[in-house]
Amino acid sequence: MDLYGKDFICTQEWAFEELMAVLDLAAEMKRDRFSERWAGILKHRTFFMFFYNPSVRTRQSFECAATELGGHAQFLEPRAMRLKTAKAAGETVEDAAKVMSRYACGIGIRILEDQVPYYGAGDEMLREYAYWADIPIVNMADDRFHPCQGLADVMGWAEWYGGGPGQPDYGALRGRNFLLTWASGALARSWCSVQEALLIASRFGMNVTVARPEGYDLDPQVYEWTRQNCAAHGATFRTTDDPLEGYRGAHIVYSRNWVTPQAYQDGVFQKQAEIEKAMAYQGWTTTAERMALTDNAIFTHPMPVDRGSEVTDEVASGPRSAIYDIAENRLHVQKAVMALTMGGADL
Amino acid sequence: MDLYGKDFICTQEWAFEELMAVLDLAAEMKRDRFSERWAGILKHRTFFMFFYNPSVRTRQSFECAATELGGHAQFLEPRAMRLKTAKAAGETVEDAAKVMSRYACGIGIRILEDQVPYYGAGDEMLREYAYWADIPIVNMADDRFHPCQGLADVMGWAEWYGGGPGQPDYGALRGRNFLLTWASGALARSWCSVQEALLIASRFGMNVTVARPEGYDLDPQVYEWTRQNCAAHGATFRTTDDPLEGYRGAHIVYSRNWVTPQAYQDGVFQKQAEIEKAMAYQGWTTTAERMALTDNAIFTHPMPVDRGSEVTDEVASGPRSAIYDIAENRLHVQKAVMALTMGGADL
Amino acid sequence: MDLYGKDFICTQEWAFEELMAVLDLAAEMKRDRFSERWAGILKHRTFFMFFYNPSVRTRQSFECAATELGGHAQFLEPRAMRLKTAKAAGETVEDAAKVMSRYACGIGIRILEDQVPYYGAGDEMLREYAYWADIPIVNMADDRFHPCQGLADVMGWAEWYGGGPGQPDYGALRGRNFLLTWASGALARSWCSVQEALLIASRFGMNVTVARPEGYDLDPQVYEWTRQNCAAHGATFRTTDDPLEGYRGAHIVYSRNWVTPQAYQDGVFQKQAEIEKAMAYQGWTTTAERMALTDNAIFTHPMPVDRGSEVTDEVASGPRSAIYDIAENRLHVQKAVMALTMGGADL
């Protein structure tokens, strides 16, 4: 299997064996993090990171990943650049991508809702870069997908239901019950992480439940893919507006705030209006009482956690919380993605 | 020839053989980019990059260059620093330069028109740094000169009239016809790239034509040096206000917007006024029709290209466009400059 | 002695032998700066630098230090992050520190007066990070302490009274007279560097004099520690409001502007009011005339120097000025601190 040169924009677009190639390498890298085997993969190579939106973990973990592969990640923010955007004159994506292909081994891009005029426009921009660039584009979170988060999630779940850190058992996830629940909070959060979670959970054969208030459904295309993924494994997919029901028998609980499909008006993301809408739904918080309804489920979240709203401290910092392991896995899966798509070295 | 410790502020101040030492090494580096021969030149050394003005290509290519030489470039923006400027209290250039000389192997500085009170003040600031620093200063574009762009340009022209990428033939440029033409556009651009292009084209024995509307002449000192450079080769230098004439028989066409000599008033760069002045001159755009008048010329531009104003898409993305090759050469010539002026290693 | 994993927040909290372990290694590193012995200590490891306040020297010297140890320092500014602060929602320190512990080998933090609601709140924040993080926290200057500056200072003094650069003689400092004098200026400067200077000068057995106008005393806890440190060596500690007296017989003169203990009102740092207060005290400037009263003292300052207010050019650039050597020592002591607290390598 040759992943060299391949863009990574959404897990759904990669074959299962391709995802497993990444995940297997990631686990090997986690077990032997500073091995000389990885140190030359991007030796003296440059990876560009474009942050249209700021980030803690994504920046830290990608820059670490490049360093640990022997390369260097450049942290680039469009405010300090002269790229053409919807709002400002500047260089075309064609020109920027063609030149960057001469300098770097890959480009990571992060662009979320509030930087684009309509849902999906961020993802389209990544695809425009991918069209013109001769080097791989990696999605560092756009307004639709967050594939590195999805891989980190499933790796963490498989570690918790497998042999622990660095010892994931992906088969152990099949047939388990996965609850994704909308959560209270005033952060008007993106769809990218939760959509990627639906895709990856269903891809690995889990029964998927989405619990959310009426009016909080996600992208119909993602629902459709999730349904297909589940069907291929004989698993189920359902939605519910009952905040409690999905906890019963769950093995994995994922709670997270997100916005409605009506988040844009006149080409502008309505952050304040979305926060006000969300305020009408209190009590969508993952608590120890609710976790007690599950089949000893683990708690998962892509972070940053809005403690007190999305989940209580007791659960987030509790013995069944997988959040730090999953955050750590961002590093390992990204190292593996970069090694396979950008590294010339024989692994 | 020993270039170790030498500042690089303008190509005109370096001997021809010194420029050729850089260009020959750059071509070697391009042919064998990730050779171990370069990897130790700046090993564990630090290069400081000061960006008073933002930039895409300059930042990317310098940071790549340091990485590929085994070193590390620190991206520094004065807004995040406490350096003394014309407007704010802070540290003197003496103190900053003396301390930086203890930490780094070299300093790159970029400062353009809009950050200084009069034409030439940016270049003077570089020379003040060069006066106090014990390590080389590299001009990453100031308000007068852009020497790394000049070297990348001539390397690209010599590749196109030579054996292709990595195979420049500098002798093949002698006696060819070089057109630098002012171009339409609303960007109020700097003189630095086009002035450096005049100096370097004439230095390599080309006949130089500057086409521009009345009132758009460049620095008289640069015209004088260009005239002397041409005379030394028996080549010609002329200016014209005819937008078409210079294309006839040209081998290289360089079109670019720039400001008038009256761009400053009361110590402030008048960007908006310059844009309005430029708007009076439409049709100074390089088109396929105009290129058809040439002797099968290549199209050259330092990027970012203002497509539709400076040049049509047909030409900029056409088969005789050298723009991406030249952008790539920024990396190679900068690696060579840094290796020779900052690297202790025997090459 | 095992310093691996130890936080470095204030020199007073480290044993004398621990400080000497750092200083001895720093001198060795200075004598043989690019030795392969140091190049693998942080190989492919990441060090996070958090700058709540901007800085020239601290950023440059820490990033250089990481590079020279084979690692990489990530430059992080909270404005580009989503961390919880007194003013904004975001991630808790617990979550941020726990995740960063998975990625990096250490975290440096800089946070000064103007970013916090009361004196000491910055230092408390560092200790909160230290509480949650599994990796060492290094103080890159907070509102109370600046331990790396303190080590660089004493290393520089010991070089000047010892065998010169890289040849410090710490015993030669014992019993010498150290003058810290408040200085004129409009910069409302932090207490961190001068407090660390009192602690380190007294720790190495010097007689300490603080000269300042009435109302400009520093942290009583720091005075108390200084008194204890002096007493342990049979040395003296005194304060005076006479701007001249302390120069008589001094061996080291340190002049620096700082704010009063009344710098906060209603949770806000009153920079402008402090500048106005300071304006009432002119003539607290170190001059050649005053230096002539000393016992051929050296001049020391943590930089940036406010020339003309804190000290005249004649002294700051004079033959007894240690300022550039001390600034250079920042690099060496930080390399040594990082190597000992974060490096797994056997030194």
> B-chain residues within 8 Å CB-CB of A40?
none
For C147-193, the pLDDT digits (tens) are 999 999 999 999 999 999 999 999 999 999 999 999 999 999 999 99
Q: Contact C76/A54, CB-based, under 8 Å?
A: no
Determine the distance in angstroms separating the CA of B72 from the nearest CA of chain A, rounded to an integer. 9
Determine the distance in angstroms separating the CA of A179 from the nearest CA of chain C, rounded to an integer. 23
User: For testing the chain A interface, which of B43, B50, B56 should be mutated: the one with the most A CBs within 10 Å?
Assistant: B56
Contact B202, B234 (CB under 8 A): no
Cis peptide before C304 (omega within 30 of 0): yes
Residue with tokens 């900052």: B342
For A90, other C-beta atoms within 10 Å of its C-beta total 18
Cα–Cα distances in angstroms (integers) from residue B135 to residues A112, B104, C136, in the given order:
43, 8, 34
Q: Is B28 on the interface with C (CB under 8 A)?
A: no
For B205-240, the pLDDT digits (tens) are 999 999 999 999 999 999 999 999 999 999 999 999
| Single-letter amino acid, residue B237 | F
Residues A166 and A247 grouped into a single domain? yes
Neighbours of chain A (3+ CB pairs under 8 A): B, C
Q: Considering the domain boundaries, does residue A5 fall inside one? A: no
pLDDT along chain A (347 residues), means of 10: 95 98 98 96 97 92 98 86 52 94 98 95 97 98 98 98 98 98 96 98 98 98 98 98 97 98 96 96 96 98 96 98 98 98 76
Note down the domain range covering B229.
149-327
> A-chain residues within 8 Å CB-CB of B68?
44, 46
Residues B126 and B157 grouped into a single domain? no
Residues C162 and C262 grouped into a single domain? yes
User: What is the maximum alpha-carbon separation in chain B?
Assistant: 56
Average pLDDT over residues C18-41: 97
Would you mind telling me the total number of residues written for chain B in this entry?
A: 347
Is residue C35 over pLDDT 50?
Answer: yes
Determine the distance in angstroms separating the CA of C232 from the nearest CA of chain B, rounded to an integer. 35
> C-chain residues within 8 Å CB-CB of B91?
56, 303-305
Task: Please give the distance of CA C315 from its chain centroid, rounded to a whole number.
Answer: 22
> B-chain residues within 8 Å CB-CB of A99?
56-57, 60, 303, 324, 327-328
Q: Contact C303/B74, CB-based, under 8 Å?
A: no
Q: Is B87 on the interface with C (CB under 8 A)?
A: no
Q: Is C299 on the interface with B (CB under 8 A)?
A: no
Q: Which residues pair with B110 in a beta bridge?
A: B51
Structure confidence at residue B86 (pLDDT)? 46
Backbone dihedral region for residue A338 (phi beyond 0: left; psi -120 to 50: alpha; all else: beta): alpha
Determine the distance in angstroms separating the CA of B142 from the nearest CA of chain A, rounded to an integer. 17
The strand order across the sheet containing B298-300 reads B237-240, B207-211, B177-182, B252-256, B298-300
Q: Is A78 on the interface with B (CB under 8 A)?
A: no
Q: Is B271 on the interface with A (CB under 8 A)?
A: no
Q: Considering the domain boundaries, does residue B68 fall inside one? A: yes
Q: Is A164 on the interface with C (CB under 8 A)?
A: no
Exposure string over B278-288, b if 16+ CB within 10 A, otherwise e: beebeebbbee
Q: Considering the domain boundaries, does residue B3 fall inside one? A: no
User: For testing the chain B interface, which of A50, A63, A79, A95 should be mutated: the one with the most B CBs within 10 Å?
Assistant: A95
Give the orientation angle of helix A93-103 with respect to helix B323-342, to 10 degrees. 40
Q: Is C68 on the interface with B (CB under 8 A)?
A: yes
Query: How many domains are contained in chain A?
Result: 2
Residues A103 and A118 grouped into a single domain? yes
Contacts across the A-C interface (CB distance below 8 Å): 79
Q: Considering the domain boundaries, does residue A245 fall inside one? A: yes
What percent of chain B has pLDDT above 90?
93
Q: Contact A56/C96, CB-based, under 8 Å?
A: yes
Q: Is B94 on the interface with C (CB under 8 A)?
A: yes
User: For testing the chain C interface, which of A57, A79, A190, A307 should be mutated: the one with the most C CBs within 10 Å?
Assistant: A57
Q: Considering the domain boundaries, does residue A187 fall inside one? A: yes
Residues B140 and B183 grouped into a single domain? no
Residues B95 and B197 grouped into a single domain? no
Q: Which residues of chain B have pLDDT under 70?
A: 79-89, 344-347
What percent of chain C has pLDDT above 70?
96
Q: Is B275 on the interface with A (CB under 8 A)?
A: no
Exposure string over A56-87, b if 16+ CB within 10 A, otherwise e: bbbbbbbbbbbbbbbbbbbbbebebbbbbeee
User: For testing the chain C interface, which of B41, B42, B44 should be mutated: the one with the most C CBs within 10 Å?
Assistant: B44
Structure confidence at residue C84 (pLDDT)? 54
Cα–Cα distances in angstroms (integers) from residue C148 to residues A329, B41, B243, C106, C180, in the given order:
33, 30, 62, 15, 18
Nearest to B103 among C64, C186, C316 (CB): C64
Q: Considering the domain boundaries, does residue C228 fall inside one? A: yes
> B-chain residues within 8 Å CB-CB of C51?
80
For A33, other C-beta atoms within 10 Å of its C-beta total 14
Structure confidence at residue C345 (pLDDT)? 56
Q: Considering the domain boundaries, does residue B347 fall inside one? A: no
The closest alpha carbon to B165, from B280, B27, B341, B309, belongs to: B27
The strand order across the sheet containing A177-182 reads A237-240, A207-211, A177-182, A252-256, A298-300
Q: Which residue of B has its CA nearest to C42?
A: B44
Q: Considering the domain boundaries, does residue A1 fall inside one? A: no
> C-chain residues within 8 Å CB-CB of B48?
60
> B-chain residues within 8 Å CB-CB of C193?
none
What would the DSSP string read from start to end of C310-344? TB-HHHHTSTTB-HHHHHHHHHHHHHHHHHHHH--
What would the DSSP string read from start to end of A218-249? --HHHHHHHHHHHHHTT--EEEES-TTGGGTT
Domain of A49, CATH number, reads 3.40.50.1370
Which of the four pLDDT bands, split at 50, 70 and 90, describes residue C81?
A: very low
Residues A113 and A198 grouped into a single domain? no
Exposure string over C288-299, b if 16+ CB within 10 A, otherwise e: eebbeebeebbb
DSSP state of C87: S
Q: Contact C55/B81, CB-based, under 8 Å?
A: yes
Determine the distance in angstroms separating the CA of B327 from the nearest CA of chain A, rounded to an integer. 6
Q: Is C72 on the interface with B (CB under 8 A)?
A: yes
Structure confidence at residue A84 (pLDDT)? 54
Residues A232 and A279 grouped into a single domain? yes
DSSP state of A182: E
Q: Is B39 on the interface with A (CB under 8 A)?
A: yes
Residues C225 and C323 grouped into a single domain? yes
Structure confidence at residue C82 (pLDDT)? 46
What would the DSSP string read from start to end of B283-326? ---B-HHHHTTSSSPEEE--S---BTTTB-HHHHTSTTB-HHHH
Cis peptide before A165 (omega within 30 of 0): no
Determine the distance in angstroms separating the CA of C56 from the nearest CA of chain A, rounded to an integer. 19
Helix (H, G, I), strand (E, B) or coil at C293: coil
Structure confidence at residue B89 (pLDDT)? 55
Q: Which residues pair with B73 in a beta bridge?
A: B47
Cα–Cα distances in angstroms (integers) from residue B145 to residues B11, B49, B111, in the given order:
8, 17, 10
Is the alpha carbon torsion for B220, B226, B228, B234 positive or negative? negative
Residues B133 and B176 grouped into a single domain? no
Looking at every residue in chain C, the average pLDDT score rounds to 95
Residues C62 and C118 grouped into a single domain? yes
The closest alpha carbon to C129, from C216, C20, C234, C49, belongs to: C49
Contact A211, A279 (CB under 8 A): no
Residues A65 and A124 grouped into a single domain? yes
For A101, other C-beta atoms within 10 Å of its C-beta total 17
Measured CA to CA, the distance from residue B213 to residue B215 in angstroms comes to 6
Q: Contact A77/C72, CB-based, under 8 Å?
A: no
Evaluate if pTM is beyond 0.90: yes
Q: Is A187 on the interface with C (CB under 8 A)?
A: yes
Measured CA to CA, the distance from residue B264 to residue B274 in angstroms comes to 9
Is the alpha carbon torsion for A87, A92, A94, A96 positive or negative? negative
DSSP state of A71: -
Contact C184, C48 (CB under 8 A): no
**Tokens representing residue A20 in the block:** 């497993």
Nearest to B61 among A44, A95, A103 (CB): A103
Strand A264-265 vs strand A268-269: parallel, antiparallel, or unpaired? antiparallel
Structure confidence at residue A78 (pLDDT)? 80
